[in-house]
C-alpha cells in the first residue's frame, strides 16, 4: 500500500464552526439561580433555590448584617414542605481580630458570625459580607456548609475575618433558606446594599 502524505492545513480560529453531538466528561461552572435585594425586615425566606438540577450551591451575600449592634444574624434550611428546619445544627468557626480564636455552637440555626457579635449594619462601608457553599441540600442526607465572612466587631474596634463551617443532620430534602435575627432586629435597610445571589454547580 502506498501512503500519500497530505499537508496539514490547520484550523482558522476566526472561522465559524457548527457542532452537532454531545460533549461528555466536562465539568460545569457556576450557574446563577436567583438574586435578591433585601429591605428592612427581621426575617425573610429565599425559596425554590435548591433542586435536583444541581448538587451544590454557592451563596454570595453583601450587607448581610443587622441594623443594631450586638445582633446575631442566623440562617437555617427550609424543607421541601415549606417548613423551617429548626434542630440539629452545628457551627464551627476560626476568626482573626489581631489574634486567632475558634469556637463552636449548636442549636436551631447556623450563624453568619460566631467569633464576636457584629457592629450595626448602618451603611455600606460597615456592611458584612459572606461567600459560602452549601453541599447537597436537596438530597435527604446531612447538609453541610463552608464559607468565609468579613465584618466589623460590635465594639467598632476591629475587622474580623472568619472561616465558617457546619452541618445539619436532620437528613431532610431542602429547597430554600430562612434568614432570621435573634431578637427581632432588622436586616438591611432601604439603601439597597443588602444583596444575595445564589449559584448552582456540580463537582
The total of structural domains in the chain comes to 1
Please choose, from the candidates 147, 125, 144, 146, the residue with its C-alpha nearest in 3D space to the C-alpha of residue 136: 144
Instruction: Examine residue 15 and state whether it is found in any structural domain, yes or no.
Output: no
State the Cα–Cα distance between residues 77 and 65, nearest whole angstrom. Answer: 18
Could you report the average pLDDT of every consecutive run of 10 residues in the chain (203 residues)? 56 63 62 92 94 97 86 92 97 88 90 87 80 97 96 89 96 96 78 86 90
pLDDT at 43: 92
Residue range(s) defining the domain that contains residue 66: 31-201
State the Cα–Cα distance between residues 29 and 63, nearest whole angstrom. Answer: 25
Instruction: Examine residue 11 and state whether it is found in any structural domain, yes or no.
Output: no
State the Cα–Cα distance between residues 188 and 122, nearest whole angstrom. Answer: 8
Spatial CB neighbours of 101, under 8 Å, sequence gap ≥ 6: 94, 95, 115
Count of C-beta atoms within a 10 Å radius of residue 86: 13
Instruction: Examine residue 7 and state whether it is found in any structural domain, yes or no.
Output: no
First vs last C-alpha separation in the chain:
49
pLDDT at 78: 98
Instruction: Examine residue 104 and state whether it is found in any structural domain, yes or no.
Output: yes
pLDDT at 30: 96
Long-range contacts of 26-31 (CB under 8 A, 24+ apart): 27/202, 27/203, 28/201, 28/202, 29/201, 30/58, 30/199, 30/200, 30/201, 31/199, 31/200, 31/201
pLDDT at 63: 85
State the Cα–Cα distance between residues 91 and 25, nearest whole angstrom. Answer: 35
Instruction: Examine residue 22 and state whether it is found in any structural domain, yes or no.
Output: no
Instruction: Examine residue 2 and state whether it is found in any structural domain, yes or no.
Output: no
In this structure, what CATH number is given to the domain that contains residue 165? 2.60.120
Amino acid at each position: 500500500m502506498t501512503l500519500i502524505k497530505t499537508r496539514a492545513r490547520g484550523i482558522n480560529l476566526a472561522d465559524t464552526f457548527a457542532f452537532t453531538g454531545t460533549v461528555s466528561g466536562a465539568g460545569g461552572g457556576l450557574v446563577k439561580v436567583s438574586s435578591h435585594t433585601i429591605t428592612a425586615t427581621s426575617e425573610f425566606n429565599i425559596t425554590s433555590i435548591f433542586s435536583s438540577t444541581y448538587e451544590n450551591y454557592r451563596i454570595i451575600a453583601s450587607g448581610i448584617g443587622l441594623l443594631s449592634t450586638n445582633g446575631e444574624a442566623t440562617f437555617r434550611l427550609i424543607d421541601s414542605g415549606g417548613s423551617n428546619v429548626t434542630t440539629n445544627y452545628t457551627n464551627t468557626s476560626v476568626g482573626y481580630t489581631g489574634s486567632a480564636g475558634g469556637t463552636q455552637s449548636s442549636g436551631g440555626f447556623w450563624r453568619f458570625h460566631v467569633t464576636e457579635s457584629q457592629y450595626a449594619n448602618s451603611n455600606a462601608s460597615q456592611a458584612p459580607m459572606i461567600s459560602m457553599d452549601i453541599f447537597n441540600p436537596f438530597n435527604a442526607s446531612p447538609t453541610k456548609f463552608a464559607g468565609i465572612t468579613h465584618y466589623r466587631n460590635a465594639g467598632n474596634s476591629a475587622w474580623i475575618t472568619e472561616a465558617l463551617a457546619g452541618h445539619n443532620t436532620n437528613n431532610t430534602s431542602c429547597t430554600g433558606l430562612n434568614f432570621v435575627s435573634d431578637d427581632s432586629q432588622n436586616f438591611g435597610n432601604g439603601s439597597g446594599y443588602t444583596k444575595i445571589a445564589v449559584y448552582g454547580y456540580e463537582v
